[in-house]
Structure 1
Amino acid sequence: MSGKLKVHVDQDKCQGHARCKALAPELFDLDEYGNAHEVGDGTVPAGLEDKAWLARSNCPEVAIDVTEE
């Protein structure tokens, strides 16, 4: 893996299940409605790549994108 990973939550798809927040609280936060969004600009710190992929694979709405820069 060469580049850094970034996570992004599609706000149109997110239904507030908050599994991403439960699995990777370092990468996701919840708004006042319980919908998830990425922390900061979505950059995944070194060592948390597995959590990014885990959150993506556990999202029931498939609302999380993981991209490599």
Structure 2
Amino acid sequence: MARVRADTGKCEGHANCQIAAPDFFDLDEDGTVETLQDTVDESHRAEVEEAVRNCPVDALRIEQ
């Protein structure tokens, strides 16, 4: 099972991740990404990969 990681230091609060994968990402009260789930099963992998690709500041990654 893969894991998703967010670098909150890079996040600029664009919310592309939240739009692509709302079950996995949200923005905190400061507008910084927070992960709601850190493990990604195959049934959700495509939406999380889309969120990672759509992050304009490369704050997200998937680890095996």
* TM-score, length-scaled by structure 1: 0.85
Residue identity over aligned pairs, in percent, reads 36
- Stretches of structure 2 lacking an aligned partner (at least 5 in a row): none
Q: Does 1:15 align with 2:17?
A: no
Which sections of structure 1, spanning at least 5 residues, go unmatched? none
SS of 1:50's partner is helix
The Cα shift of 1:45 comes to 3.6
Q: Determine whether 1:65 maps to 2:61.
A: yes
CA RMSD of aligned residues (A): 1.1
Give secondary structure in 1 for the equivalent of 2:40: coil
Could you tell me which residue of structure 2 aligns to residue 55 of structure 1? 51
Once the two structures are TM-superposed, the CA of residue 37 in structure 1 deviates from its matched residue by 1.3
TM-score (norm 2): 0.91
Q: Tell me which of 40, 43, 66 is aligned to 2:39.
A: 43
Aligned-residue offset at 1:46? 3.9
SS of the aligned residue for 1:21 comes to helix
